[in-house]
């Protein structure tokens, strides 16, 4: 700030600017998201009986808690751990209730606003770039991610081609990167991240994957084989409107941002909006719910754009991979029913090897299996839809962690999370290139 040494008159004109700068640098002076999470708590509930689960559902509905494991209040069940985000004015009521009913609970976060402002997952004042260029170990805003894509499209045109598959509800471009050595008849893998806005580690992983591919294409025979034999269609941010909103207004926003003609609540769960057992079990018909399936299948322009793209290219798309958080699971169909898919053993062995490969990096354990029995039943998901539409290998990753940080996974954990996930994705991809045993 060398202008401090200048004559008084000039310093005075610079001062307001300088204060503005300082304000954005120091957490004490401004509150993120307009201080809306002050006093909010995150509480882990463990109902041990059916009765406890029943009364918990009732009170959670009344207090308008936000379930941090997606699925809505209906997912609360006996023996299942559920993390809920309770608004400040409801937390005392919930705690009193839990104590009186003698239901097991832990307070994971005492004051959510304080956690958000503590630093590590803060967008406002960190350096966006490392010395050597792009910083892959911070979360990036939508604008930063799109600029990054444009940049790669210019600088790596040999391996990357960027295009748009449509527009979001709010008119943003839906960009996809096509990654791989140019060649005519190649099979392809589709990867999307950020279907759910608040799951920030997803887009960070999609970026990481692209970085690793470009960085190791020459030196790593596995990566070279992947990019020579396959195309990767990578959509780093599926739900662009929601992701943007999670940076500017509501860190825990999950859905799209579309308006509803009859209710004031906005948004549809982009992972319940697909035409596969649409709006059945595990999805809500109510526009104010986090798992709202939408007014009709593919009502969301983002879902429709991706569905159109996959329909058009399904003949050569071999695998569909979708990245979510959090739970540490590797899931495959079905989501909407308890049943095993045909050729189950093939997909199962791919999942088994992938979670083993993942664990070999930092010892992190992933569960794997059909989504319905491993996580919960949900209808209208992208994974089931892709499978039903002829893509034989479809998986959904639920990345770190299991609830300690939840959606607020610190930036220091981006690198370990992405490193281990990278190995799992490479393992699945190599499995595809071989004939399924
Ligand atoms: C908490 O505040 C919100 C918004 O101010 C209100 O809609 C809600 O009814 C309140 N909840 C309780 C339990 O007082
Ligand atoms: C990516 O680059 C190609 C050619 O280099 C250009 O035609 C295309 O429009 C670019 N994509 C986007 C989305 O700008
Ligand atoms: C199961 O595998 C066989 C042999 O590889 C294949 O012909 C068939 O299409 C597969 N079925 C499904 C549903 O993927
Ligand atoms: C995939 O992971 C398994 C361990 O689960 C390992 O034995 C195998 O070599 C890996 N394959 C590739 C191609 O990385
Ligand atoms: Zn998700």
Ligand nearest, relative to CA of residue 196? 5
What pLDDT is attached to residue 298?
98
User: Average pLDDT in the 15-31 region?
Assistant: 43
Ligand nearest, relative to CA of residue 36? 1
Residue 127: how many CB atoms within 10 A of its CB?
8
Six-digit token string for 149: 């894509």
Is the Cβ atom of 90 under 6 angstroms away from ligand 1? yes
Task: Report whether pLDDT(10) > 50.
Answer: no
Looking at residue 268, what DSSP letter applies? -
User: Average pLDDT in the 292-308 region?
Assistant: 98
Helix axes 344-362, 414-433, angle to 10 degrees: 150
**Ligand 3 centroid to 383 CA: how many Å?**
18
Task: Report whether pLDDT(85) > 80.
Answer: yes
Is the Cβ atom of 437 under 6 angstroms away from ligand 3? no
What pLDDT, in 10s, does the model give residues 306-335?
999 999 999 999 999 999 999 999 999 999
What pLDDT is attached to residue 18?
36
Choice among 117, 144, 212, 398 that is catalytic: 398
Q: What is the mean pLDDT of the chain?
A: 88
Q: Where are the beta strands (DSSP E) in 285-415?
A: 317-325, 329-332, 367-370, 393-399
What pLDDT is attached to residue 71?
60
**Ligand 2 centroid to 162 CA: how many Å?**
6
Task: Report whether pLDDT(73) > 80.
Answer: no
The more confident residue out of 404 and 286 is: 286
Of 345, 392, 393, 436, best ligand 3 pocket probe by most atoms within 8 Å of the beta carbon: 392
The more confident residue out of 20 and 395 is: 395
pTM: 0.84
Residue 82: how many CB atoms within 10 A of its CB?
24
User: Average pLDDT in the 47-76 region?
Assistant: 84
What distance in Å separates the CA atoms of residue 119 and residue 371, rounded to the nearest whole number? 34
Task: Report whether pLDDT(19) > 90.
Answer: no
User: Average pLDDT in the 213-226 region?
Assistant: 96
Task: Report whether pLDDT(233) > 80.
Answer: yes
For residue 200, give the nearest of 401, 351, 430 by alpha carbon: 401
Task: Report whether pLDDT(70) > 80.
Answer: no
Indicate the SS3 state at residue 306: helix
**Ligand 5 centroid to 184 CA: how many Å?**
34
**Ligand 1 centroid to 406 CA: how many Å?**
24
What pLDDT is attached to residue 124?
38
Ligand nearest, relative to CA of residue 154? 2
The more confident residue out of 255 and 69 is: 255
Task: Report whether pLDDT(131) > 60.
Answer: no
Task: Report whether pLDDT(398) > 50.
Answer: yes
Of 221, 225, 356, best ligand 4 pocket probe by most atoms within 8 Å of the beta carbon: 356
Q: Which residues pair with 396 in a beta bridge?
A: 322, 331
What pLDDT, in 10s, does the model give residues 239-250?
999 999 999 999
Ligand nearest, relative to CA of residue 149? 2
Task: Report whether pLDDT(163) > 60.
Answer: yes
What pLDDT is attached to residue 79?
81
Residue 16: how many CB atoms within 10 A of its CB?
9
The more confident residue out of 434 and 194 is: 194
Is the Cβ atom of 369 under 6 angstroms away from ligand 1? no
* Backbone phi, psi, residue 141, to 5°: -70, 165
Residue closest via CA to ligand 2's atom 2 equals: 153
**Ligand 2 centroid to 164 CA: how many Å?**
10
What pLDDT, in 10s, does the model give residues 341-355?
988 888 999 999 999
The more confident residue out of 34 and 30 is: 34
Q: Which ligand 4 atom minimizes the distance to the CA of 426?
A: 14
Six-digit token string for 208: 């990481």
Is the Cβ atom of 35 under 6 angstroms away from ligand 3? no
What pLDDT is attached to residue 114?
87
Is the Cβ atom of 353 under 6 angstroms away from ligand 4? yes
Task: Report whether pLDDT(12) > 60.
Answer: no
Task: Report whether pLDDT(17) > 90.
Answer: no
User: Which range among 90-99, 116-125, 263-272, 408-417 shows the weakest confidence by mean pLDDT?
Assistant: 116-125
Label residue 274 by pLDDT band (50, 70, 90). very high
The more confident residue out of 186 and 434 is: 186
Is the Cβ atom of 86 under 6 angstroms away from ligand 1? no
Is the Cβ atom of 123 under 6 angstroms away from ligand 1? no
Is the Cβ atom of 59 under 6 angstroms away from ligand 1? no
What distance in Å separates the CA atoms of residue 219 and residue 306, rounded to the nearest whole number? 33
Q: Got the DSSP string for 8-72? A: HHHHHHHHHHHHHHHHHH-TTTS-GGGGTTTT-EEEEEE--SHHHHHHHHHHHHHTT-EESSSS-
Label residue 64 by pLDDT band (50, 70, 90). confident
- Active-site residue, 398 included: yes
**Ligand 2 centroid to 153 CA: how many Å?**
6
Q: Which ligand 3 atom minimizes the distance to the CA of 436?
A: 5
């Amino acid at each position: 700030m060398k202008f401090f040494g200048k004559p008084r008159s000039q310093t005075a004109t610079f001062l307001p600017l300088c204060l503005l700068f300082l304000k954005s640098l120091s957490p004490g002076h401004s509150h993120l998201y307009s201080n809306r999470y002050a006093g909010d708590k995150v509480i882990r509930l463990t109902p041990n009986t059916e009765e406890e689960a029943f009364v918990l559902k009732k009170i959670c509905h009344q207090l308008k808690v936000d379930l941090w494991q997606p699925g809505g209040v209906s997912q609360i069940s006996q023996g299942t751990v559920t993390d809920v985000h309770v608004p400040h004015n409801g937390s005392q009521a919930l705690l009193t209730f839990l104590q009186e009913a003698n239901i097991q609970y832990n307070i994971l976060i005492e004051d959510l606003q304080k956690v958000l402002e503590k630093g590590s997952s803060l967008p406002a004042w960190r350096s966006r770039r490392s010395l050597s260029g792009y910083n892959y170990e911070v979360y990036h805003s939508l604008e930063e991610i799109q600029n990054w894509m444009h940049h790669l499209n210019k600088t790596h045109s040999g391996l990357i081609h960027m295009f748009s598959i449509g527009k979001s509800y709010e008119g943003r471009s839906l960009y996809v990167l096509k990654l791989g050595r140019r060649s005519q008849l190649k099979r392809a893998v589709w990867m999307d991240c950020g279907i759910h806005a608040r799951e920030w580690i997803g887009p960070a992983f999609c970026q990481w994957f692209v970085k690793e591919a470009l960085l190791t294409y020459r030196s790593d025979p596995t990566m070279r084989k992947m990019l020579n034999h396959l195309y990767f269609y990578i959509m780093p941010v599926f739900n662009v409107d929601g992701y943007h909103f999670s940076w500017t207004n509501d860190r825990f926003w999950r859905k799209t941002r579309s308006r509803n003609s009859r209710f004031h609540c906005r948004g549809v769960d982009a992972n319940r909006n697909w035409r596969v057992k649409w709006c059945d079990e595990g999805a809500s018909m109510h526009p104010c719910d986090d798992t709202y399936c939408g007014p009709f299948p593919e009502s969301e322009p983002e879902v429709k754009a991706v569905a159109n793209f996959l329909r058009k290219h399904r003949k050569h798309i071999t695998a569909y991979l979708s990245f979510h958080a959090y739970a540490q699971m590797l899931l495959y169909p079905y989501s909407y029913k308890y049943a095993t898919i045909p050729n189950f053993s093939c997909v199962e062995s791919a999942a088994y090897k992938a979670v083993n490969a993942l664990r070999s990096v930092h010892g992190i354990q992933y569960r794997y299996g059909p989504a319905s029995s491993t996580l919960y039943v949900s209808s209208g998901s992208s994974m089931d839809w892709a499978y039903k539409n002829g893509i034989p290998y479809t998986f959904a990753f639920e990345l770190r962690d299991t609830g300690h940080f939840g959606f607020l996974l610190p930036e220091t954990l981006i690198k370990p999370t992405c490193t281990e996930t990278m190995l799992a994705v490479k393992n699945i991809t190599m499995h595809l290139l071989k004939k399924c045993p």
